[in-house]
Structure 1
Amino acid sequence: MQVTFLGTNGWYDSPTGNTVSALITTRDYDIILDAGNGISKADRYISQDKPVFLFISHFHLDHTEGLHTLVKFRFRKGLTICGQPGTAEDLAGLVREPYTVPLDKVPFAVTVTELPDGTHEIPFKVTSLPLVHPVPCRGFRFEIDEKVVSYCTDTGICDNAITLARGADLLITECGLKPGQKSPDWPHLNPEDAIHIAKRANAKRLALMHFGAEVYKTLDERRHLKRQFERECPGLVVSEDDMTIEV
């Protein structure tokens, strides 16, 4: 299994990268996490011959603006878009004329699946739980190919993030804030918070993404986090666009 970070910025594109999207490559499926502008690069890394699943954590534009680019793809075995209850209605309002090509007119079959709280077989095993953010936002836990990958973006520290990350081979979290920074009115994680979640959950490895574009203005500022925190969090991944890691 591989994870490729397609877009690693939060809020907006900048010289440090595109807005947030990641790809989990498994034996039988390609799983895309969020649809920021990074999703437009997915065809560099997939054959488009496997079923593709897209999980949307929430509908802030840095997680959905890349839906505009879906029409470029040719997913020969279709696309299943998964999200929290209400996702179908939100998609219908966002991905439509006159703004972009509607989902029923893209050149492949699209299915929308709404996931209530809990664990589902779709056909692989995925758990969906709410996180802490100003709008409804979900984290996901994937159990597939004898591995566990957890994805918790746009959240403060919460019990559900720890539950989703429990024993994961890889925990992917946001890192919108710099060390020591707090944002109580608009919950996001700093590196210490992300490490706290990983340790509480006994996750085997932590990957940081969704770096606030207005906070981390250079890649060197991100890279410093690895030097600063790797002793505390061995194997820490500080993601950059187009980075691929093995799980």
Structure 2
Amino acid sequence: MKLILLGTNGWFDTETGNTPCVLLQTEQFDVIFDAGYGFTKVDRYIDGSKPVYLFLSHFHLDHLIGLHTLPKNHFPRGLTILGQPGTKDALNELLGPPFSVPLSTHRYPVQIQELMNGTRPHLPFNLTALPLVHSGPCLGYRLETNGKVVTYCTDTGYCENAVTLAHQADLFMTECALAPGAEPHPGWPHLNPAEAARIAVEAQAQRLILIHFDPTQYPTLSHRKLAEEEARKIFPQSFAGYDGMEFSLK
């Protein structure tokens, strides 16, 4: 299995990267986490030979804006979009006249599944979805397949659900919107590198990947390296993500 970071910025695109999107490739299926503008690069990696599953964390535009490029993709084995209750209505409004192309018009089948509390959708992998702490409803995901665990948690402040989702994860991806030492806004929770590392320690994760960098606080990639250094003081296996970065899960 291979993990590819396609978008590692939060909020808006800059020369440091696109907004959030992560691709997990396995022999049986492809999984995408979030659809920021990094999603526009998906067709460079997916050949359409496997079913595709797209997990949406929440409805802020930096996590959805790439969906307007869906028509250029070809997923003959089908695209399943999964998210919180209300996902179908939100996408039908966003991806329809006058804003974009309706999902029903694509040349491949698209299915939307809303993840209700306690439900276990029929998927070719084990999935846990739990609410995170943000300005509005937001889900974090834990995916277990081929003996490996991959966790995706953004956008969020520190919370016990993030620790639960990342428990002994082989790869734990979480946000680092705030610069080292920055305090979160009480109405708009996010993490700084030390808080992200704290979650990784408490969860006994194997590797921490920092993503979703606020470009106003991280204007260059060198600023991300400072976040990596800060996180490694607490959790040595920390990595500051950048667009195009790859991780292997053997």
* TM bracket, shorter-chain basis: over 0.9
Find the aligned partners of 1:224 and 1:175 in 2 and give their Cα distance. Answer: 12
- TM-score, normalised to structure 1, is 0.97
Letter in 2 for 1:215: Q
Letter in 2 for 1:238: A
**2:15 is the counterpart of 1:22:** no
User: 230-239 or 60-69, which moves further after superposition?
Assistant: 230-239
Per the alignment, residue 221 of structure 1 pairs with: 223
**2:195 is the counterpart of 1:180:** no
How many angstroms does 1:228 deviate by? 3.7
Find the aligned partners of 1:199 and 1:109 in 2 and give their Cα distance. Answer: 41
Per the alignment, residue 135 of structure 2 pairs with: 134
How many angstroms does 1:53 deviate by? 0.4
Cα distance per residue 1:174-212 (max 9 Å; x no partner): 100011111222100000110111111111110000000
Identity of matched residues, %: 51
CA-based RMSD of the aligned residues comes to 1.2
Per the alignment, residue 163 of structure 2 pairs with: 162
Tell me, yes or no, if the aligned pair for 2:196 and 2:231 is still in contact at 8 Å.
Answer: no
CA, structure 1 residues 162+229, in 2 after alignment: closer, same or farther (shift >3 Å)?
A: closer
Number of residue pairs matched by the alignment: 247
Find the aligned partners of 1:232 and 1:134 in 2 and give their Cα distance. Answer: 27
Tell me, yes or no, if the aligned pair for 1:119 and 1:126 is still in contact at 8 Å.
Answer: no
Per the alignment, residue 234 of structure 2 pairs with: 232
Letter in 2 for 1:76: P
* Within-5 A mapping of 1:1-247: 1-118=1-118, 120=120, 121-183=122-184, 184-247=186-249
Shift >3 Å, 4+ stretches? none
Cα distance per residue 1:121-150 (max 9 Å; x no partner): 423111111000111100000001110001
- TM-score, normalised to structure 2, is 0.96
User: 221-230 or 169-178, which moves further after superposition?
Assistant: 221-230
What's the secondary structure of 2:6's corresponding residue? Answer: strand
What's the secondary structure of 2:247's corresponding residue? Answer: strand
